[in-house]
Amino acid sequence: MPATNDPSVPPEGPAQGPGDASSPPEPTPAASPPAEEPEPEPDLSAPEYYLPRELSLLEFQRRVLAQSQDTTVPLLERLRFLVITATNLDEFFEIRVSGLKQRIHYGAGGVDVSGSTSQETLHDVTTKARRLIREQYRILNQELLPALEEEGIQLLRREEWTEPQARWIRSYFDEQVLPVLSPIGLDPAHPFPKTLGKSLNFIVELEGKDGFGRHIPMAIVQVARSLPRLIALPKKLSPDKESFVLLSSIVHAHVEELFRGLTVLGCHQFRVTRDSDLWVDPEEVQDLLHALRGELSSRHYSAAVRLEVSDKCPAKISNFLLERFEMHPGDLYRVDGPVNLYRLAALIDVVDRPDLKYSSFLPGLPRRLVKGDGDLFEVLRTGNVLLHHPYQSFQPVLEFLERAATDPAVLAIKMTLYRTGSDSPVVKSLVRAAQAGKDVTCVVELRARFDEAANIDLATRLQEVGAKVVYGIVGFKTHSKMLMVVRREGRKLRRYCHLGTGNYHAGTARLYTDIGLLTADERIGEDMQKLFLQLTGTGSKVRLKKLLASPFSLRKTLIRLIDAEAEHARRGEPAHIRIKVNSINEPKVIQALYRASQAGVKIEMVVRGICCVRPGVKGVSENIRVRSIVGRFLEHSRAYCFHAGGEDLVYMGSADLLGRNLHGRVEVVFPIEDRRHKRRILREVFGVHEELSGDSWSLRSDGSWRRVTQERGHQRSGQHQLLMKLAESS
């Protein structure tokens, strides 16, 4: 008899006959316990498995703000992180909060993926934003300004001016500021003026009568943007320190000069943040460039979404301003300091103190380019070149484009441009190429948020030299990063390509972490040719051999690869997914990741900003780990890696896992096929942060982030520092 643990079966012993007096009575079989019903499969679309998008974005701002408190970060860089959070919050109100308000106004709110209504989300984000803003000013006033003063750098308040400083400041006001100011008294002939979004303004309380016998109780002083917001005092006025004063303090101190003969009862600075999301009806617009030009002119005066005032501003004044801007009391934010912290960025640039800033860093170059004879086309014919910015220089990309512009064998250049400067090296090379008679085609995305005006100028400049300029597909932003050069080599036309995760902007290439691939791969070239034809012309959906593109194949392919990894895990095989993105909220992709986690796939994610994935939920996502890296550089590269039975499929590209990227944008993701390059991606993009914790945060299932700490006695470091060292030694 097989062994059993069933208590209803007696243990084996000597055989006993039925008539044996010593035989115990036969036990009554015990009733079997009722079979437990299996727990129902969780509904992976249920709201409790998702984190709110807008709150997740504010959590990112909190992680950035934490850098301003990190004493291992150089002092002026800490101030820079504070300024970055201020500008990020401006954009948050201009885009996110304004969008919530619009949805509520038009009754189109519904619920988001986390189950929150627009009203609930607006309440939650404004509550969290207030806490964040209060913390900003606390850090500025109690930590950064005192620390700067200890280093001999002071931002002087009005009450701190010495007599000689006050005389110099008065002279500066009379000569440099007063001639530019035009106060507006509020009366029937002078209604409340239009106020530029994010501009510095003062509302002044007055008493008395002017020269015309009028009693005007209030006036508005709008400070021109042409005036510098931070003014350095002459060294002789503070020989032992570098002293600065804010323009707002200067205007406030001398506002009486604008209202001679009247008594100034109060002077209060204020700033209004406005809805800055441009919208163009694709069914109505005939010319996208002209339509956007018209929208840009109205952006500065669109609906107000936030009013900032000094914390000393009386309630009657703030209420008056709220009424004029058609806002509610919940839109008012009182601050303990200047209403625009961005103005402090000038201090970082003006102060020449290398010891208080990040040390200089010289990007490296791949060995193949260093050893080459300068012929990049020859190098690419023998193999791909992988660039990891900013650790490796962006210069090879610029040289690739410049060489193409001047090489007689190059016939055509095709390129997508999302963010770049009209005076950038990229644009100069394209202009030279067009002037040299090459066929230059540029897909310029005019709707790159806050770069619309620059891109309109760029498009106009390229058109003037004969380049073909198109604006992609109306209704779909062209967010892909592609550059293709067509070169005649003997009787053959060969395509040389660059694909990247970042913009063709030499400035951000020094500040953002991005991956670029230079290649002469024929199939990638064929795919890019098809994509450019689709962007500039018309036709049916194209079939690509190597590249993945949204809004067509990208989401479907990623989900298929995730599901395939889950199948490996179900068969008991090794299964691993690594994803690095700026943001993720697409429900179908998240559900695929949850299914893979349930199957036992180990999933590592590095997410900079928005993350609606809720990791660590039993039965759903306990195999998902989410990290965020916040440090010297802005994490910007996107990567998708699958173990794939040991094949290690690695993709990089322009696409985040947001609904807008996968459904409403033209994005391109490209494969990394060289095994050395795969190892580099797995090591440099994913591997390093596992070993270090200086700039790493871990996401908890409740949506909060915890800074990773190392074991006591270990030196605290960070991913960016190690990769800089690796680049310098390579």
The residue whose two tokens read 């570098």 is 242
Which amino acid belongs to residue 264? V
Residue 518: which of 719, 408, 652, 421 has the closest Cα? Answer: 652
Helices 118-139 and 98-105 sit at what angle, rounded to 10 degrees? Answer: 150
Q: How many residues does the chain have?
A: 730
Euclidean distance between CA atoms 224 and 221, whole angstroms: 9
Euclidean distance between CA atoms 124 and 128, whole angstroms: 6
Q: Is 643 noted as a catalytic residue in this protein?
A: no
CA distances from residue 418 to 442, 544, 610 in whole angstroms, order as listed: 10, 23, 21
Neighbouring CB atoms inside 10 A of 438's CB total: 22
What are 485's two structure tokens? 């050069």
Report helix, strand or coil for 409.
coil
Which amino acid belongs to residue 675? R
Euclidean distance between CA atoms 398 and 660, whole angstroms: 30
Which amino acid belongs to residue 347? L
Region of 703 please: left (phi>0), alpha (psi -120 to 50) or beta.
Answer: left
Q: What is the dihedral of CA 116, 121, 127, 133, to 10 degrees?
A: 130
Q: Supply the Cα-derived Rg of the chain in whole angstroms.
A: 31
Euclidean distance between CA atoms 394 and 389, whole angstroms: 7
Euclidean distance between CA atoms 81 and 581, whole angstroms: 21
Euclidean distance between CA atoms 175 and 169, whole angstroms: 10
Report helix, strand or coil for 283.
coil
Neighbouring CB atoms inside 10 A of 17's CB total: 7
DSSP states of 516-578: EEEE--HHHHHHHHHHHHHHHS--SPPP-SS-EEETTTHHHHHHHHHHHHHHHHHTT---EEE
What are 679's two structure tokens? 């190892």
Euclidean distance between CA atoms 248 and 251, whole angstroms: 5
Euclidean distance between CA atoms 98 and 275, whole angstroms: 5
Under DSSP, the state recorded for 8 is: T
Convert 37-94 into a string of H (helix), E (strand) and C (coil).
CCCCCCCCCCHHHECCHHHHHHHHHHHHHHHCCCCCCCHHHHHHHHHHHHHHHHHHHH
Find the catalytic residue in 479, 498, 568, 677.
Answer: 479
Phi and psi torsions of 652, nearest 5°: -125, 160
| Helix (H) / strand (E) containing 215 | none
Residue 606: which of 643, 587, 575, 631 has the closest Cα? Answer: 631
Euclidean distance between CA atoms 587 and 84, whole angstroms: 30
Is the torsion defined by CA of 644, 648, 653, 656 positive or negative? positive
**Active site amino acids:** 479
